[in-house]
């Protein structure tokens, strides 16, 4: 069978995976702190014949780290992060990191994520506020005070650029390499009363969707042309009766 058929089939598999990624991104375009899925495509070379044939792989998923839009909320427990740092929180599967700074205080004073997970400080310890201590003031460096009394500090962490990220819920990630505590707040800062949204670009995703449709149609046309070519060869070269 002609290699063009296999190449076209590999292109359709890659297109299907990309479609799933786009659908997930669009579904979470309004999810606070959500990081979009991207796919890194590459060629798979086959040297089964005299000449190499380039196949399209299904692509390797990765999570985009670009920042989302920041919105002013005036909620004292909402925070947005300027820079590349993440907030740490505890999950049953270990420490996860997020850019979703919509925090809340539990009845016992524990500072939690919007999903109810315990927010951690720079040392990995839970942060507890004073339930009747009044509104919290959160500084640029993540320090938290109530009535001018220090009660804790948000732990801000940077993730190595070469670390692979896996998802932890909708907005959290878990890196494959250890994180580092932010100590220099020159380029990193906490903005109280703000929150960061998803980094999904809806118009870009729709544009990708249109491109995918055309790619799939092109691959489908190639498959049909290949099948027609094979059938024509069979009719031409087959034994006559």
Total domains in the fold of the chain: 2
Indicate if 159 and 94 belong to the same structural domain: yes
Indicate if 223 and 154 belong to the same structural domain: no
Q: Please write the tens of the pLDDT for every residue from 222-241.
A: 666 665 666 666 667 666 55
- At residue 158 the predicted structure's pLDDT band, cuts being 50, 70 and 90, is very high
Query: How many Å separate Cα 130 from the centre of its chain?
Result: 34
Indicate if 175 and 221 belong to the same structural domain: no
**Average pLDDT score, the chain:** 84
Query: How many Å separate Cα 30 from the centre of its chain?
Result: 14
Closest CA to 78 of 110, 108, 114: 114
The predicted pLDDT at position 211 comes to 77
Q: Please write the tens of the pLDDT for every residue from 10-50.
A: 665 667 778 888 888 999 999 999 999 887 655 444 444 55
Task: Quickly count: other Cβ atoms within 10 Å of residue 195's Cβ.
Answer: 24
Average pLDDT over every residue of 51-60:
54
On whether the CB atoms of residues 165 and 37 are closer than 8 A, the answer is no
Question: Is residue 7 predicted with pLDDT exceeding 70?
Answer: no
Indicate if 41 and 110 belong to the same structural domain: no
According to DSSP, residue 180 is labeled E
According to DSSP, residue 86 is labeled E
Indicate if 83 and 58 belong to the same structural domain: no
On whether the CB atoms of residues 84 and 99 are closer than 8 A, the answer is no
Indicate if 95 and 123 belong to the same structural domain: yes
Return phi, psi of residue 3, to 5°: -65, -25
Indicate if 184 and 82 belong to the same structural domain: yes
Q: Please write the tens of the pLDDT for every residue from 72-107.
A: 999 999 999 999 999 999 999 999 999 999 999 999
The predicted pLDDT at position 206 comes to 85
Extended strands (E) in 92-138: 94-98, 104-105, 111-112, 136-138
Q: CB under 8 Å, gap of 24 or more: what pairs does 127-132 form?
A: 127/151, 127/152, 127/153, 127/154, 128/152, 129/105, 131/105, 131/107
Q: For 1-5, 132-136, 205-209, which range has the lowest pLDDT when averaged over its residues? A: 1-5
Indicate if 77 and 184 belong to the same structural domain: yes
Average pLDDT over every residue of 54-66:
70
The predicted pLDDT at position 48 comes to 46
Sign of CA dihedral 93, 98, 104, 109: positive
Indicate if 134 and 179 belong to the same structural domain: yes
Q: How far apart are CA 240 and CA 238, in angstroms?
A: 6
The predicted pLDDT at position 190 comes to 97
Question: Is residue 127 predicted with pLDDT exceeding 90?
Answer: yes
Indicate if 104 and 159 belong to the same structural domain: yes
9 vs 185 pLDDT, higher one: 185
Indicate if 50 and 153 belong to the same structural domain: no
Indicate if 26 and 127 belong to the same structural domain: no
The predicted pLDDT at position 143 comes to 96
Query: What domain range includes position 168?
Result: 70-194
């Amino acid at each position: 069978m002609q290699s063009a058929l296999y190449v076209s089939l590999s292109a359709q598999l890659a297109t299907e995976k990309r479609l799933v990624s786009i659908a997930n991104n669009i579904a979470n375009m309004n999810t606070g702190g959500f990081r979009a899925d991207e796919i890194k495509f590459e060629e798979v070379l086959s040297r089964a014949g005299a000449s190499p044939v380039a196949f399209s792989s299904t692509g390797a998923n990765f999570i985009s780290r670009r920042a989302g839009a920041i919105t002013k909320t005036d909620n004292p427990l909402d925070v947005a992060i300027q820079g590349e740092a993440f907030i740490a929180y505890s999950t049953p599967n270990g420490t996860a990191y997020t850019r979703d700074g919509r925090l809340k205080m539990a009845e016992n004073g524990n500072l939690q994520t919007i999903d109810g997970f315990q927010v951690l400080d720079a040392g990995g310890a839970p942060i507890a506020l004073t339930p009747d201590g009044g509104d919290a003031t959160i500084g640029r460096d993540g320090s938290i005070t109530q009535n001018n009394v220090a009660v804790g500090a948000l732990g801000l962490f940077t993730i190595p650029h070469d670390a692979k990220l896996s998802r932890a819920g909708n907005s959290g990630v878990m890196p494959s390499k250890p994180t580092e505590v932010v100590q220099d707040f020159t380029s990193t800062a906490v903005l109280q009363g703000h929150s960061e949204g998803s980094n999904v670009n809806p118009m870009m995703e729709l544009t990708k969707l249109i491109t995918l449709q055309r790619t799939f149609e092109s691959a489908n046309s190639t498959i049909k042309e290949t099948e027609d070519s094979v059938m024509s060869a069979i009719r031409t070269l087959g034994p006559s009766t």
